[in-house]
Structures are given as C-alpha cells and as structure tokens.
Copies of this chain bind each other. A is one copy, B any other.
C-alpha cells in the first residue's frame, strides 16, 4: 500500500510516493516562464501539483492517466494545499498496486457473475431469457459488468459495485415474486439485470470513477434504452409488445420524473422493481455512511444522498444485545 495518501498530507511535509495523473498542462507565469501543472490523485482524493524547473523530460513521457512517482513538498497556495514537485518520473508497472487507486467490492466477482448467469438462465420466458443471457454473456459486456461501479458517489461507488447491486436485486426479485403471485418473476429479473447496463458506459472506471461525456449528455437510462432496444431488434421475431414492456421497465425505474425517469411506472412489475431498486440503493448508502467515522460515537457521517445521518444501533442500545445470542 502506498504512503501517504492524499488525505494524509500535512503542510510543510516532504513526501515520496505514487499518484495517478488526472490532468497535465503547461502554463506560463506572468513573467512568461513556463511551468508544469498536474492534477494528481489516488483512491482517497486529488491534489494540484506544480513543477517549476527541469520538467522537460516529464513532458515527453508522462500523460493523463499515467502513474507517476514523485518527490515533493506539501505547501499551501491561495488557501489550497498543493505539491511543489522536486522529482517526477513514470512509475514502473510493478511499483503500482491498483487497489491504491480504486476501491473494490469485498465480494468475489467471479462468484457474483456466476450467480448472475444463474438468475439469467432461470428466466422461463424464452424471449426474455434469450435477450438477457445474450447480453450478459457477451464477453465485452461481461468484462465491464464484472468491473463497473454502480455510481460515482451515491451508492456501491467502487469496482464491482454494480454486479453486487444487481445480484442483490435478483435475490429480492425472486423473493417478492414468490410472495405476490400477480407479479411475473421473469419481468422482474429482466429489469434487475438490465436496468443499469447503461452504467457500463455512462461511467469510466479504468483508473478512477468518472462520467464519460456521453454519460453526462445522455445518462444511463437513455444509453441502455438504445443498447437493449438494439439487442431486441436483433432477435428475429421478438414480440413488439414485449419490447415495449421491456423498454418501459428500463425508462421508468427511477420512479419519478425529477429523478430522470421520463415515464412513471405503469406496469405492476415496473412499480415493484422501482421500490426494490430504491431499497437496495438507499440501504447501501446508509451502510456507506455507517462505515465512516463521524466523530460522534452514536451517529454515522451525514449522507448527502439521503439527507440525514444514521444511528449506530449497537452503540445506542449499548450493552443490551438486540437479539440474544442463543436465539441467533
């Protein structure tokens, strides 16, 4: 593990460590002297860096999205911390531990993917099964599916977060369909597996999690609407009414216009799926808030996504164990 991380930097400290280059440019001082300005980062955050001399070599070899090794001093400039670089070179691949730059799910992605395939194969309706398995077993999509985060900051914001979220939703879908016979489990599973495939390309997550320009301009709902629609068109004979139903499931899953769904759920499965998706996402956001130290022993940090903080139940109930050990 690299040391220190961006969030560990103290003023007037001298450091030697590795960073990812987020931005690189040459600027001029007022006196016309060129200098190098970089934005550097790791999984904990980003910081500006400037190099005033002897950066000619660095210009040639180093580009955005490269990993670098730096020797630098931590300073404050215009009230913001920055690095004054003394040495800078490309890092060697063997020096870099990708886990220092991107957080990762703690679960086994291979197992999660196997579960996903199992859910896809359990779909009874032949058209939906063909559609869903075709998409998730496409090697290019599968590779991204195993890696994509579910969001940039809201919930499951780490590599593998998307598949973790989707497998969880498949489990919920199965259970809920078992309780309400009026619901079609195939539609719920289809919604669960396909409702966020647009995120595979809405976000980029090679070396950091960010939005692509397409993601910003279109959003994952539109992107998956297009790719899934094409996939249905490619299946000869796919019933047109069923296509409309699948499209409706995708575009209505945010549940409200102001959350970017151009249509309210008007099919029972779409209504129910919206609640399941919300439940799993919001619970993950609560979990993330509780995972951080807020300074207040009984409370989580404030979750911007949920507009509140959460109680640490065990701290509040103290010695009192909610479920007696012999009953667990």
Contacts and interface: CB of A to CB of B under 8 A. Distances in A.
Contacts of A23: 295, 297
Interface string A290-311: 1000010111000000011111
Interface in A29-61: 30, 39
Contacts of A168: 179
Given A125-B327, A317-B241, A266 B7 contact: no
A271 B286 contact: yes
A121 interface: no
A317 B226 contact: no
A147 interface: no
A257 B308 CA distance: 13
A263 B220 CA distance: 11
A22 to B, nearest CB: 9
A175 B184 contact: no
A328 interface: yes
A102 interface: no
A247 B275 contact: no
Contacts of A260: 257, 262-263
Interface stretch (A90-98, A136-144, A151-159, A210-218): A210-218
Interface string A228-268: 01000000000101101101100100000111111110111
A221 interface: yes
A222 to B, nearest CB: 6
B78 A262 contact: no
B78 A39 contact: no
A126 B275 contact: no
Contacts of A308: 264, 266
Nearest to A250: B222
A172 B182 contact: no
Nearest to A128: B322
A110 interface: no
Contacts of A9: 78-79
Nearest to A317: B241
A26 interface: no
A239 B320 contact: yes
A99 interface: no
Contacts of A268: 283, 286-287, 290, 310, 313
Given A126-B324, A260-B263, A272-B283, 13 more contacts: A39-B295, A124-B323, A125-B323, A182-B287, A184-B322, A217-B248, A218-B247, A218-B251, A226-B226, A226-B229, A257-B258, A275-B278, A275-B282
Lowest 10 A-B CB distances belong to which pairs? A124-B327, A175-B175, A275-B279, A217-B248, A260-B262, A257-B258, A124-B323, A214-B244, A267-B311, A241-B317
21 contacts: A3-B30, A9-B78, A10-B77, A11-B77, A23-B297, A124-B328, A125-B322, A125-B323, A125-B327, A126-B324, A175-B176, A184-B313, A186-B323, A213-B311, A217-B244, A217-B245, A241-B318, A257-B259, A266-B310, A268-B313, A275-B275
